[in-house]
Homo-oligomer: A and B are copies of this chain.
């Protein structure tokens, strides 16, 4: 067994309204910054023991499906690195 860090990035699916991102973009523009778009995402870094990187990725994917992401409105991706 080894310890891995699985990074799960959860973002809204394209087409789903992102009021937080819109508000943040407007605030930046009021501060004088120019940007054409802003998207926000949540990121979870999970430390877990697993037999190999694939098992760590599978387990992190299950955690995303069960809790971290809402499959109706979110997409997510998983990246794994050995600690």
Chain A residues with CB under 8 Å of chain B are 3, 9, 11, 21, 24, 27-28, 31, 33-49, 59, 62-63, 66-68
How many copies altogether? 2
**In the bound complex, how far is the Cα of B9 from the Cα of A49, in angstroms?**
25
| B63 and A44 form a contact (CB under 8 A) | no
A37 and chain B: residue at smallest CB distance: B47
| A33 and B49 form a contact (CB under 8 A) | no
| A44 and B40 form a contact (CB under 8 A) | yes
| B38 and A46 form a contact (CB under 8 A) | yes
| B36 and A47 form a contact (CB under 8 A) | yes
| B3 and A36 form a contact (CB under 8 A) | yes
**In the bound complex, how far is the Cα of B47 from the Cα of A37, in angstroms?**
5
